[in-house]
Amino acid sequence: MERYVLTMTCLDRPGIVRALGASIVRAQGNITDSQQFSDPETGTFVVRTEFESPESLDVVRESVLDGTAPFAPHVNMRPAAVRRRALIMVSKYDHCLVDLLYRWKCGEMPVDIPVVVSNHEDLRGIVEDAGLKFVCIPVTMDTKREAEAELVNLVEDNDIDFVVLARYMQVLSDDLCRVLAGRAINIHHSFLPGFKGAKPYHQAYARGVKLIGATAHYVTADLDEGPIIEQAVHRIGHSHTAEKLVEIGRDTERSVLSRAVRMHAEDRVVLVGVRTVVFD
């Protein structure tokens, strides 16, 4: 028996679940887990289903598409054993990268990582020690277009499913954001909305904030305003120094990013307009 993961979105109408279930049964399938949500704002129905079937992916897909055709759905389906392929992008900060690599090596992160890209050489040793390919693509004002073209080539040549910006300190162009729409995850060093610019934790310290946090979101052309996947906050007090806030912030960033990457890799995140539906 092959285990499959399916996500489907369409306009909400009576009979969707019945039609989907019947199409899975026709493919000799047995549903082992299913979660659904109807968005009242957009009238969009979203479902994530795991099921087993002895039939091939093509046979199961055809059955599902035929059975749900009246609802004109968008269907995404894969064998659960097929892992998503992630390209990680970094600059000089290593905490998010190291956390992702650790979880990947011990089997907690269900992804394959064909390549890690950086605009600096600083983290080459960490990546190559993990047995992964490291590619340095320097970025300047004059070379940004060529650098992003090289990145897109890497994405295509390595059959990359999604990109992870693990504290990659370059703003992606609007064109690249469109190319990677819905498949580029960024970690922001704040519980959005937050302090912008350099040294955000020092700005927070100067303002005497009581909560700091981190936000993982999809990258869009609107800087740090993409659909949010995961967030976390940490309460702080007047005795915390700016350096302590940085330490707490690093820990929050890596845990939030790792959860977002895992949820995306397991097809638990579905975009509905500018918002996300995130299934447990």
pLDDT in tens, 145-184: 999 999 999 999 999 999 999 999 999 999 999 999 999 9
Instruction: Check residue 117 and give its pLDDT.
Output: 98
Looking at beta carbons, which pairs linking 53-60 to residues 24 or more positions away fall under 8 Å? 53/1, 53/2, 53/4, 53/24, 53/27, 53/28, 53/29, 54/1, 54/2, 54/28, 55/2, 55/27, 55/28, 55/29, 56/2, 57/2, 57/4, 59/27, 60/4, 60/24, 60/27, 60/29
pLDDT at 232: 94
pTM across the whole model: 0.91
**pLDDT tens-place string over residues 33-76:** 999 999 988 999 999 999 999 999 999 999 999 999 999 999 99
pLDDT surpasses 60 at 127: yes
Pick 97 or 190 by higher pLDDT.
Answer: 97
> What pLDDT does 197 receive?
72
Segment among 67-81, 181-195, 242-256 with least mean pLDDT: 181-195
pLDDT at 193 over 70: no
Please say whether the beta carbons of 259 and 247 come within 8 A: no
Residue 156: what pLDDT?
97
- Looking at residue 260, what is its pLDDT? 98
What is residue 39's DSSP assignment? E
Active-site residue, selected from the candidate residues 224, 251, 267, 280: 224
Instruction: Give kind and range of the element (H or E) at residue 263.
Output: helix 242-265
Banded model confidence at residue 191, pLDDT cuts 50, 70, 90? low
Distances (CA, A) of 252 to 90, 107, 218, 223, 226: 17, 21, 18, 21, 19
CB 27 within 8 A of CB 65: no
| pLDDT score for 192 | 54
Rounded Cα gap, residues 172 and 150, in angstroms: 13
Average pLDDT over residues 96-113: 97
Catalytic annotation present for 224: yes
46's enclosing H/E stretch is strand 44-53
| Low-confidence winner among 137-146, 169-178, 236-245 (lowest mean pLDDT) | 236-245
Contacts of 210 by beta carbon, 8 Å cutoff, 6+ apart: 235, 236, 237
Mean pLDDT, residues 97-102 taken together: 98
Q: What is the pLDDT of residue 178?
A: 95
What are the backbone angles phi and psi of residue 153, rounded to the nearest 5°?
A: -60, -40
